Each structure stands twice: as structure tokens, then as C-alpha cells.
Structure 1
Amino acid sequence: SGPEGAPYMLIAIKSVATDFDKRQVKNMNVKKVFLLGSHAFSDILLWDFEDTFFNLTLKEIHFLQWVNVSCPKVKFIFKGDADVYEMLEGQEISKDLFVGDIIVHAKPIRRRNSKYYVPEFIYGQGIYPSYAGGGSFVMSGHTAVKLHLACQEVELFPIDDVFLGLCLLRIGLQPTRHEGFHTFEIVRPSAAPHLQVFNPCFYRELMVVHSLTVPQIWLMWNLLHDPNLQCNSSQDPTVFPFSGSNFGGMN
């Protein structure tokens, strides 16, 4: 909780029924835990529509509506699964904040066989507005209120990440890229083609990394929680990614 008893952070995680293996912890089905938690804390949000790729935008809209009605005083909102408190220290809750792995100058895909195909009659412009890739980001409660209003004015779009980008454009807010978010996994530097990037020292200060398989997630989790883990800060490019020198705020 934050000042005056208001929630400091709301963590929202999207999930689908087919992600069974990702909802297991120590051989226990997390779904059971969620159901118990839902009865006790009402922390599971359910809506009545088919859970498909093109309905992900509806999840964003309903979630923003829920925040506006049920948790309007929350300081920060995180969509992902990691500890972000250090990054948020010193941030003013009365100002806009939207950070993640920001994709800029992305072009609509016009190939009909693509999962992300968008015909011109749906979106006729040649470039998408800046948006957070991977559906993972941190925003302030102040920004969430604005996005809730914007999503009622912006026409529905089949790609949820881009839809939020359109809403950000509507409220005149430019999202900020943060090195703690990696939508397309950790990229091996061209100057070091043989560098082993699947190393816990690369991951220990990150918040979101996509494109890992379930076995890789289990392995990395155990490596990160190894009490004997030692990293050389002089060689670790992810050391202190949340410090002021690496974090850009918003106006």
C-alpha cells in the first residue's frame, strides 16, 4: 500500500486456458490457487467473450474499466511478472508514466497469411503509433484513468498492443522505452557472436523477457534464485538498469 492506504502497485497478468504448463509451481496447478484466491480476495477478473487473439483488445478495455471503477487510487500498474519497485522510487504519481519495450515506426502487415494481418480498410496509414510490445508495461494510475477514457473514443483495433498505442496517441502521451523489458528476448551483440546470453547475470535486473520456452523459464528461475550466484558488475550490461541515468520519465 502507498500513502493514505491507497494501493501502491497493481499487478495484472493475462492468461489463457491453454497455458497450463505456465501456471504450475512445484508440480501444483496454480489454477486451484487462483480459484481459492478469487473466493477470498476477488482478484480474478472474468469477462464473457471468447478468448481469442483478436479479442485481446477487449481484455485491455475491460481491465482499464475495472481499474477505473474498483481501484481508482492505485499508484502504479504493472503488466508482467517481476519486481519493479526500485524503478518506481521517486516517480510522481500525479504525472503520466508509461514504460516498456517500445516499438516505433512499425508498419502494418498486409500479408493475408500473417497472424498480424491488418487490411487497409481497418487501418489505412502506413505506420503505427509507438506502442509497448509484448503486452508488458508499467504505467501510473494517473495514465490509466486517461487511457480508460481514450479507449471509449478510439475505434476497436484487432491488435491489443497497437490499440493501446492508438489510445496513447489520443491522449498525447509518448511512451518511454526501458531496458528492463525485452519483448524479443536478449539480443546477442554483433561484436560478441559467441556470447552466452542465456546467463542469469543478464536476467537478474530485468522485468520482462519474452520468447523463453517453459523449460527455459524453469531453469532461469532456479538459476536466479541460486544463493551462490555471483555476477561481475563490470561485465554485466544489465546492472542498475533502473537507476536515474537509465530511466527516462515523461512529461
Structure 2
Amino acid sequence: MPSKVSCLYVLTVVCWASALWYLSISRPSSSYVGQLAVPARKTAKSKNVTFSNIRTRPLNPHAFDFVVNEPKKCEADDPFLVILISTTHKEFDARQAIRETWGDESTFADIRVITLFLLGKNTDAVLNQMVEQESQIFHDIVVEDFVDSYHNLTLKTLMGMRWVATYCPKAKYVMKTDSDIFVNMDNLVYKLLKPTTKPRRRYFTGYVINGGPIRDMRSKWYMSRDLYPDSKYPPFCSGTGYVFSADVAELIYKTSLHTRLLHLEDVYVGLCLRKLGIHPFQNSGFNHWKMAYSLCRYRRVITVHQISPEEMHRIWNDMSSKKHLRC
């Protein structure tokens, strides 16, 4: 017959195992691997439930840490424009082409421009190490510890908004774009933003899209009815390139904490803008498609999509060397 001591020991082990099992299934998850997942929330005890704490509890706490950061980028002088470029680990050639062309921070003598590349963490440790080394050389990379994937592009954009609100709140304007975009900086700075005029507030512009969710599961832009039941999206700007006043960065980031996440980042930003009562302005200079190169055509636009690193250099050199030619 087992002794009382041995029975007590077995009972203790079973209790600990049960407790560990319970914790493993009840702990909130912040994993965003693969498809973007909303972190599970703990159920509040009934005695603490009030209308106030229900409204203010973050739906999406964005509980990620900066693992590569440039917190002092804006300390010396408040920039006129911060450019946030969504990129992936393997796109070094694209980042370098941007650094050497339109993203060169020393292009303008009269205004300060900051260029930052946005990434998550890669599942390949070697690629993460290469990006860290690249950051030590160029000091223009920001990384948070979510998994870098297509379905996490929204997190990448929100990271950029958070960075501006935290480390560069006195910037005048922000541009969010992608690493395969050519930007006509003269048109962006002098024709659209106009440094000599009073900075705008609650301003947002780009190529405005009025559309609805695609229900075809084969589509890259598929949106399930569970995630978004409505038949129309609010007006939103194509994620290939949009510009906003820097005060909007903090507004969007804080609004996102209480807005259900969607993996289509440009649509999601549009949802946040609707909550804020900010209406994006249409600007035909923002092109979200590829456009055959012509010196005169490219002089009239702000952005062009699907530009390779080689094309980036060729276009930039041509436009820079032929400023004296008339169209």
C-alpha cells in the first residue's frame, strides 16, 4: 500500500502539471506568424468590468520591441520630411539604389529629409544579421520583432507611424512608400509640400481608391467576410505611396490600438482615417502602376511603381543631367 508521503508527492506533481497546462492554453498570444492574428485577450473578472475599461482596453497593443532602431535620427534638427520605405531583407540592391538616387538625404541643401527602411524579423538568422550589419553602416533601418511577411505589412506601417510619433514628432511631413517605387523628389517637395508655406495639419494625400473587398480566395487582396463584412471600404490611398502631415502618424498609431487589424495595410490605414474624420485628398501625381519611361512624363509625376534598382539609377541620372531641357 503506498505511503502517505508518496501519495502527497504524486498529487503535487499532478497539480503543477495541470497548472502549467492551464497557463499554456490561457496565456494571450502575440504571434503574427503567417496570417495576421489578433492577440487573444484575457477575460476580466466580473467585479472589475466597467464601461470605461471596456472602451479603453487596447484591442491591438502592438507589443513589439525595436530590435534595430535609430532613436537619435531627429535629435540634431527637426526634418521637413521623413520617408518610410517598406522593404524586405533580401532587397539590399533596391535599398542601395534608393540611397544613391531619390532617397539620398543630402539631395536638398535648404531642407532636411530623413530616409528610413522598415522591416520585421526574418525567420533566417543570417538575413537578420546581414540587415543589422547594413544598419551599422548606413543608420537608416528600423526593425521590430514581428515576423516579416506579406500578411504583416500592416504591422510594418504601424511601426513606422509609431517611430515618427516617438522619435520624430516635430517633423513636418511623412511619406510612406515601397522599395520598388521611383519618387520625383522635386515634385514632392516643391510642388506638393512647398517648404515656404505653413505646414498643414490632419493632411493625407495620395492615389485615392474607392472600392470594396475582393471575396475571391485566389486573389492576393482576398478579404473574408469574417474579417470585413461590409461591401465597401472607406476611401484609402494606395500603399505604393502616400504623404501625410506628421501629426497624423500619432493619430493613426493610437487609433490602431483600438481598431481590428486587417492584413491589407492601405485599407487598414483608410479605416483609421475614417475613425479620425480625416479625408484623403486625391492627387493624380501618385501612380500605383508601372509607366514606360519618358523624361517629360516622369517630370509630371510624384511616384511610379515597379521600378528595378537598375531602372532607378538610369531614370535618376537622366532626369538629373537633363534639367535644362524643356518638354
Query: What's the TM-score once normalised by structure 1's chain length?
Result: 0.75
Return the match for 1:46 from 118, 132, 143.
143
CA distance in 2, matches of 1:95, 1:228: 32
Alignment partner of 1:62 is 2:159: yes
Give the Cα separation in 1 of the matches to 2:266 and 2:152: 12
Q: Matches of residues 119-198 of structure 1 in structure 2 within 5 Å?
A: 119-186=224-291, 197-198=292-293
Check conservation: 1:94, 1:142, Cα contact below 8 A.
Answer: no
CA distance in 1, matches of 2:312, 2:79: 29
1:108 to 203, 210, 213: 213
How far did 1:88 drift?
A: 1.3
- With 72-81 and 54-63 compared, the bigger mean Cα shift is at 72-81
Query: Is residue 2:150 matched to residue 1:78?
Result: no
State the Cα distance separating 1:10 from its structure 2 match. 1.1
CA RMSD of aligned residues (A): 2.7
Tell me the distance in 2 between the aligned counterparts of 1:50 and 1:140: 28
Deviation string 1:127-155 (CA, Å, 9 cap, x unpaired) is 11111113311100122222122111111
Equivalent position SS for 1:133: strand
- The Cα of 1:175 is off from its aligned counterpart by 0.2
Conserved 8 A contact 2:97-2:313: no
- After superposition, residues 199-218 of structure 1 pair within 5 angstroms as 199-218=294-313
The alignment-based identity, stated in percent, is 28
- 1:98 maps to a residue whose letter is F
**Partner-residue secondary structure (3-state), 1:56:** helix
Deviation sequence 1:84-116 (CA, Å, 0-9, x none): 221212654352111111111x12111111111
Partners of 1:168 and 1:132 in 2: CA distance: 10
Alignment of 1:18-37 (within 5 A): 18-25=90-97, 34-37=135-138
- CA distance, structure 1, for counterparts of residue 217 and residue 242 of structure 2: 29
Instruction: Answer whether contact 1:93 1:141 (CA < 8 A) is retained.
Output: no
In the alignment, the residues of structure 1 paired with residue 283 and residue 200 of structure 2 have an alpha-carbon distance, to the nearest angstrom, of 20
Cα separation, partners in 2 of 1:205 and 1:164, compared to 1, 3 Å: same
The aligned counterpart of 2:88 is 16
Matched residues, number: 213
Equivalent position of 2:104 in the other structure = none
- SS where residue 13 of structure 1 aligns? strand
Deviation at 1:20? 3.6
More helix by share: 2
Aligned counterparts of 2:200 and 2:314: Cα–Cα separation in 1: 39
* CA distance in structure 2 between the partners assigned to 1:25 and 1:184 by the alignment: 20
The TM-score with structure 2 as length reference comes to: 0.59
Query: How far has the Cα of 1:55 moved from its partner?
Result: 0.2
Helix, strand or coil at the partner of 2:263: coil
Q: 1:220 aligns with which of 315, 320, 323?
A: 315
Q: Provide the residue aligned with 1:237 in structure 2.
A: none
Taking the aligned partners of 2:314 and 2:237, their CA distance within structure 1 comes to: 27
Aligned partner of 1:249 in structure 2 is none
Measured in 2, the distance between the counterparts of 1:228 and 1:91 equals 25
Query: 1:125-184 CA distances to partner (integer Å, 9 max, x unpaired)?
Result: 111111111331110012222212211111100111111010111101110111221012
Matched position secondary structure for 1:47: strand
Amino acid at match of 1:88: L
Deviations 1:164-209 (A, max 9, x none): 01011110111011122101234xxxxxxxxxx5311110242211
